A = this chain, B = another copy of it.
């Protein structure tokens, strides 16, 4: 699995930092908080985050100065938060190197969308928009419909591919006949377990080292199948 995207928050108000930290963490980001510009620059150098969010008004090194100094050492995307809605302030922040300026109060969904937009520019393949799933020995690209095990390319038919896709999306858990059938063939086919017998068999022939003793797709009798990604 690709490692989490890192976001550095620079804000001197502890409660705001905490709210944002939990909000962003729950969306799969790795988040750290610095209390002022100095600490922010230090932490940036040590931790090398993928994106920086900073408040404009801070003690010691203010937001503007922070942006300028950060821009000298990095081109990391920066989003500035502020209560000020004056045009001159926005212009100053953007010209200091900020990529975006968001006025408080703001919604978490908007902030997340602006984060996605900024990350899209600098690390196009690393955002959650990416269609590639890596788990264990497997790599599956749901957009290109490509899949591989331990680097070996697989030539899968559409149904085989969808079946594998569901499995890599739920590694380690038991997938019932019903769930698998509904996901691949649609809700009207939840009784047709014979489809699974055939297609699981073909999938095993293509992905297992020894199809007679499967290590990836395990049978859970009377229930369904369990996917073990390896490692």
Contact = CB atoms under 8 A, between A and B. Distances in A.
A220 interface: yes
Contact of A220 (B88, B145, B220): B145
A103 to B, nearest CB: 10
B121 A95 contact: no
B94 A144 contact: no
Contact of A107 (B87, B94, B98, B145): B87
A30 to B, nearest CB: 22
State the copy count for this chain: 2
Contact of A143 (B91, B114, B176): B176
A158 B222 contact: yes
A191 interface: no
A193 to B, nearest CB: 14
Contacts of A231: none
A173 B158 contact: no
B99 A113 contact: no
Given A100-B100, A145-B174, A94 B116 contact: yes
A109 interface: yes
Contacts of A88: 109
Contacts of A91: 109-110, 112-113
5 contacts: A95-B116, A143-B176, A145-B222, A145-B223, A158-B222
Interface of A: 87-88, 90-91, 94-95, 98-100, 107, 109-110, 112-114, 116-117, 121-122, 143-146, 157-158, 173-174, 176, 220, 222-223
